[in-house]
Structure 1
Amino acid sequence: MRKRYLIDVAPNDQLIVFCPKSLLRDRVMKRIAFGSNSMTVDFYPHPDRNDRIVISREIQKALQFPDLRIPLHTFIENEVLTIGPIVGIFTTGFTQNPEQPIGERTLFFSKLLSVNKPVGALTFVFGDQHIDWQQGSIEGFFYHQHKWQKYEVPFPNVIYDRLPNRRSENSPKLRKVKERLQKDYLIPWYNPGFFNKLDVYERLLQDGSVEEYLPETHAFTSFSHIESMLSKYGHVYIKPKNGSLGLGIHQIIYDKHTNDYYCRYQEKNDVNRLRKFPSLERLFEIVFAHQPLDRMVVQQGIHLLRIEQRPVDFRVHTNKDEGGNWQVSAIAAKVAGHGSVTTHKRSGGEIKTMTEIFPSEKRNEYIKKLEKAALQLSKALDQNMEGIIGEIGFDLGIDRNGDVWLFEANSKPGRSIFSHPDLKSFDLLTRKLSIAYAVYLAEKALLHPEELYK
């Protein structure tokens, strides 16, 4: 466990830092750093405290250090003592409302930043408009003592990507900001992009270590290809390559006794529909009349476990921890709404704990299977996707034979499962781990950058 120290600010202008004796032992230190700011100072042992570092007001001002009374980590390399880390969370959607600075997502960010103290990091939210490139500083939004405060701070040690959608992610302006901070300032940037379903499938298939979890998935090419998959599996799913929240998913079912085709989907007014067609061509003419099929994937249908005749799948969150290792941080069951093609809440789905729906013996068996699959898939994605990944939300299914299947991997997982009162502790754990991993990245960037950029 890394030791953390409270940073006291003394009301003087001396360029002197008082440190615990244990921190100074057999070390030569000449500079102090906070984020991208650093300066030359003199170091002296603190006469009687071993739990804090004392800097002057002059040093605080030069480092642009906000005094929020949070014990912070220390990293020592090349005669420089770095205090922090300072973690920037990059997003969009800022407003002029001081109480709701990030609009409807303000509550999410206030909860995320509230783990500052237990994790030992100074975390703030910012957008591209808050960067002063000439001064090398950022106007950051901090959440402290239950209110939002703005501080001018240096460029951070690490950046956590929380861009809200693919549109913002593909913005040339924001891409340029990201590239500049990564390449010119060598700031590690984690959770950099949304996953594409087909891309994920193809990369995992090439990896080979997780093939058993992958349902057959292809880009849409022809009706004859769908016909062959229907004869093989009985039903298939048509999904947007870049979809999220269960939007645009259609289930197509073939009845071999009557030669009829059925399509289950949700209309724009959130009404679940099941329609019958005499042919696959007719089904596509009517249901997919205004949808670009070249943006769709076709996926093997799975006969899922059912609870009270309703299909159930599972959301499994994984996070990297303060040691950079993957761990399962939450598991919840999602039971489909009546007649719904997905288990999403907006389609009438219900979030349940594993305890609520399975007896203890089956529950333990399923939890073990889901954890094993999620950890194997996390490691495989980590190896095969670009960028630094710190968290993943998996939608996994278990079929009637007890086999686990991957339906989707989300690099910016939604948090709807945490609305369940019995999953609040997992909500906190996932938030803590997402920032604890930033501490790990900051340490790597400062002490072993070659491991980070290999």
Structure 2
Amino acid sequence: MMQAALPLKKETNRLGTLFVPIEQFKQYVAQVQFPTAISFGTKTVKCEVAPHPDQKDEYKLSSNLWEELMIPHEGLIHLLQKDDTVFIGPLVGIFTAGFTQFNLRPIGERSLFFAKLLSVEKKVGAFYFVFGAHQIDWDNGTVNGYFYMNDGWKQIEVPIPNVVYDRLPNRKVENLEFSKQVKERLQKEYDIPWFNPGFFNKWDIHQLLVNDNKVNKHLPKSYFQPEFSDINSLIETYKHVYIKPANGSLGLGIQQLIIKDDEPFIYCRFRNNEENRLRRYSTLHRLVRRQFPQGLKGMIAQQGINLLKWNNNPIDFRVHTNKDEHGNWRISAIAAKISGTGSITTHVKSGGEVKTVKEILRDIGANPGITKKIHETALLLSEKIDEKMPGFIGEIGFDIGVDQSEHVWMFEANSKPGRTIFSHPKLKADDLQSRRLPLEYAIYLFKQSVEKQPELVNANGHFLQL
């Protein structure tokens, strides 16, 4: 049973008690079953329940239990019950790296992003904080996490959380041994749901989907570690080809090969030292040798698509999908990205521009029904990726293209999508929704994990491990 989110406040006049709204207390009386323990994060202590002294629609908790459970502050919470234990929270930790010694910006340049992410706890109902590997005290089962309060960042010791949201900044940090050890230990020793584990590899995603008849029509023709003959076949068939790293992100390392019917040359468009470059070659052999001197190991060659255009510049669409409080996929944000003149990608750093989908389709006189096609395709792809990949996936960012025939193509799926589209003033609601949904999904995972818990309290007041 999960109650609606209600405020949790501290009670100083009576010890060892959780005070609940009168209607909830009546349910305990009717069932002749009263909770005897209360759990927060991975700490559990004994308690009694009583009706709220002022008959308010809120929870109150005795100050001694408040201290024992290490509750960081008053706030809006959810309450779940399993057997004789009530679970309050959830306590949700965002796992990341790159912490500094500065209290004003404890996670460096990303501090503002995390502050905005944490701010949704007041709307959703949870305790939400950021932590890294070095903030965990394994002996005591606690974390010295960073909370974002009204007066700024504050480090507070709390129990190990109910759910972990993975926001490691890059693949390099993710592959460090200590990152792997934290994840493995929290999952094995505490059975904690850990969502968004790992950056996607472009080729792995392609291989997951390519044999599925419902979605493979949305995948461009692609080769991993292509032979010269593969590139030659793609360029002859499609007139332009993209070559990109399978583990790349932010558009880095992408090159575009182009041929024109009325010219004997082959062109290569790429970005170097913050500049968009274009080179001309007399043969494909020369281009490959010069542009890829280290060979094509770890690279993907992908057919070019004749995309919808705005002022002759190609358009693609960034679509964010998230799981909600019921564990279902939803579109949380969508925007159009227009490539800068001479740019290979639509990334803003390469001169790209962000517009709303409605305004771009209106400006180019395209069918408004394209929006529905993009939505349906993104949700289908999310479900398929989720179905075929291990672990809990809570969000995906897609780069999607639409060709001149209105066919929808998936170029990339990202497990930790960038957020540059949210700089657009008309995407404020999308921005909020894409920050709110991960916490709502964490509440869903909290509920699922409580439902499968065994008898929980041991003599030390900690979870029993399976």
Report the TM range for the smaller structure's normalisation: over 0.9
Question: Per the alignment, in what secondary structure is the counterpart of residue 99 of structure 1?
Answer: coil
CA contact (8 A) 1:22 1:50 kept: no
Structure 1 alignment gaps of length 5 or more? none
Alpha-carbon distance in 1 for matches of 2:377, 2:176? 34
Deviation at 1:172, TM superposition (A): 1.1
Alpha-carbon distance in 2 for matches of 1:363, 1:73? 44
Structure 2 alignment gaps of length 5 or more? 455-466
| Deviation string, structure 1 residues 192-250 (Cα, Å, up to 9, x no partner) | 11000110001011333211111111112311111111111111100000000011101
CA contact (8 A) 2:226 2:301 kept: no
Q: Which residue of 1 aligns with 2:187?
A: 182
Are 1:6 and 2:11 an aligned pair?
Answer: no
Alpha-carbon distance in 1 for matches of 2:92, 2:211? 35
Deviation at 1:22, TM superposition (A): 2.6
Q: Which residue of 1 aligns with 2:171?
A: 166
Aligned pairs for 1:71-82 within 5 A: 71-82=76-87
Are 1:21 and 2:28 an aligned pair?
Answer: no
Q: Which residue of 2 aligns with 1:419?
A: 423
Deviation at 1:292, TM superposition (A): 4.7
Question: Per the alignment, in what secondary structure is the counterpart of residue 423 of structure 1?
Answer: helix
Q: Which residue of 1 aligns with 2:442?
A: 438
Deviation at 1:56, TM superposition (A): 1.3
Alpha-carbon distance in 2 for matches of 1:338, 1:16? 66
Alpha-carbon distance in 2 for matches of 1:32, 1:83? 7
Aligned pairs for 1:372-387 within 5 A: 372-387=376-391
Alpha-carbon distance in 2 for matches of 1:439, 1:340? 42
Alpha-carbon distance in 2 for matches of 1:407, 1:238? 12
Q: Which residue of 1 aligns with 2:105?
A: 100
CA contact (8 A) 2:259 2:265 kept: yes
Q: Which residue of 1 aligns with 2:310?
A: 307
Change (3 A) 1:390 1:449: farther
Aligned pairs for 1:108-187 within 5 A: 108-187=113-192
Q: TM-score, normalised by structure 2?
A: 0.93
Alpha-carbon distance in 2 for matches of 1:379, 1:146? 40
Aligned residues: 447
Deviation at 1:363, TM superposition (A): 5.5
Letter in 1 for 2:292: F
Alpha-carbon distance in 1 for matches of 2:433, 2:16? 39
Deviation at 1:404, TM superposition (A): 0.4
Alpha-carbon distance in 2 for matches of 1:363, 1:190? 37
Deviation at 1:146, TM superposition (A): 4.4
CA contact (8 A) 1:16 1:56 kept: yes
Of 277, 281, 299, the residue aligned with 1:277 is: 281
Aligned pairs for 1:23-422 within 5 A: 23-24=24-25, 25=27, 26=31, 27-67=33-73, 69-267=74-272, 269-289=273-293, 291-359=294-362, 362=366, 364-422=368-426
Deviation at 1:37, TM superposition (A): 0.5
Question: Per the alignment, in what secondary structure is the counterpart of residue 328 of structure 1?
Answer: strand
With 107-116 and 350-359 compared, the bigger mean Cα shift is at 350-359
Letter in 1 for 2:369: E
Question: Per the alignment, in what secondary structure is the counterpart of residue 392 of structure 2?
Answer: coil
Alpha-carbon distance in 2 for matches of 1:314, 1:222? 30
Q: TM-score, normalised by structure 1?
A: 0.95
Alpha-carbon distance in 1 for matches of 2:127, 2:317? 34
Deviation at 1:256, TM superposition (A): 4.7
Give the CA RMSD over aligned residues.
Answer: 1.6
Alpha-carbon distance in 2 for matches of 1:2, 1:366? 40
Deviation at 1:14, TM superposition (A): 1.5
Alpha-carbon distance in 1 for matches of 2:378, 2:130? 29
CA contact (8 A) 1:77 1:447 kept: yes
Letter in 1 for 2:371: I
| Deviation string, structure 1 residues 425-445 (Cα, Å, up to 9, x no partner) | 111111011111111110011
Alpha-carbon distance in 2 for matches of 1:219, 1:377? 21
Question: Per the alignment, in what secondary structure is the counterpart of residue 207 of structure 1?
Answer: coil
Alpha-carbon distance in 2 for matches of 1:155, 1:296? 40
Letter in 1 for 2:405: N
Deviation at 1:449, TM superposition (A): 6.4
| Deviation string, structure 1 residues 306-353 (Cα, Å, up to 9, x no partner) | 101110000011111111111111110000000111111111110111
Alpha-carbon distance in 2 for matches of 1:146, 1:212? 51
Alpha-carbon distance in 1 for matches of 2:431, 2:226? 40
With 174-183 and 145-154 compared, the bigger mean Cα shift is at 145-154
Letter in 1 for 2:24: L
Alpha-carbon distance in 2 for matches of 1:74, 1:208? 43
Q: Which residue of 1 aligns with 2:458?
A: none
Alpha-carbon distance in 2 for matches of 1:425, 1:261? 44
Deviation at 1:100, TM superposition (A): 0.3
Alpha-carbon distance in 2 for matches of 1:11, 1:449? 31
Alpha-carbon distance in 2 for matches of 1:392, 1:221? 27
Letter in 1 for 2:169: P
Letter in 2 for 1:425: A
Question: Per the alignment, in what secondary structure is the counterpart of residue 253 of structure 1?
Answer: strand
